[in-house]
Structure 1
Amino acid sequence: MAQELVLDDITAMMARYQKTCRYTYTNQSPIIMHPDLKDLLDYRNHKIITRYNMDYPTAAMQAEEALHELMKFIWLCHKHKTDKLLYPDDKNLDFSCVIHAEMADIDKMWHTFLLFTRDYHEFCDTRLNGIFFHHDPLIGENTPVSEEDYTLELTRYLTYIHDHLGSETLIKWFQ
């Protein structure tokens, strides 16, 4: 009986992963799973929507739109991490997947989501396959970088956004 429960748990877990993940295989063994974009975009949470509307009534992005864009950002960061593992020599992946100043409403939504720690934990557990997606803000300890290097990294990042989420997302994030 206990063995059946374990098998049922494993079967349920695999079904959840197959539903919410894309598998990336190298030599027939999975090395990483990244979440399915559609599954992330389907995520709804009335508590964070309500709180965002209370805290940011004059934000450029309405709450639902900000949550939608946050889900795309989370997916993009996971995809970027997967791609870097698969293609470590690809110089086009040499950029940081970060929120820039123009993406402030997305960051505000992320901060709002983080206030609801149980919901955020459950989201990471169920939608990100147990991978806790940390928010690591920059605190002014950045290593100085030349304007040329900054421009190159930003160009790579913008190209990656365009290639994987389209020009509409790129414009929305950086308008």
Structure 2
Amino acid sequence: MRHGSIPGARGRVRPLSLLGDPVLREPCRDVTDFGPELADLVEDLFATMYAAPGVGLAANQIGVPLRVFVYDCPDDEDVRHVGHVVNPRLVAADGVVLRGPEGCLSLPGLEAGTERYDHAVVEGRTVTGEPVTVHGTGFFARCLQHECDHVEGRLYVDHLTGWRRRRSARQITRAPWHRASAGQL
């Protein structure tokens, strides 16, 4: 990505992987090649996220099992955070646990009150291989934890318990995108 360019402007919108696609449930592989294919993937992730629209998107959500995600997400003070992380590691999730509405582009139209910490720190690399550390608070911390879950093969519904989990399971079976092979939380 060129410095100063609009993320996703050169990317192509790719189809989203939906719940039931095995790529969403497998831990993703580390990126080892920081070349033009990775830059193209990041551009495609931004283009797809903006088209969806969403505030974050992991590579496995477009069928690519690599540890990469992008984000364009506000925090609770309405400060906009835009970027990407390659080979992300959630190194801190702490502070106050808050339950807030959470959805996912791979489970379109659904959301549930999900508990997340209000502070998160993610370490990884940029598309060119430079080290990067991203700090998030509030809604942006939720986004970072959500995307780190994706690269580990987890979804927000995995954090649900009790009636919230049962309600989400019912909503999934009724969703128009639900496939016979999907549906299991």
| TM value normalised by structure 2 | 0.23
Bigger Rg, structure 1 or 2:
1
In terms of fraction of residues, the more strand-rich structure is 2
In terms of fraction of residues, the more helix-rich structure is 1
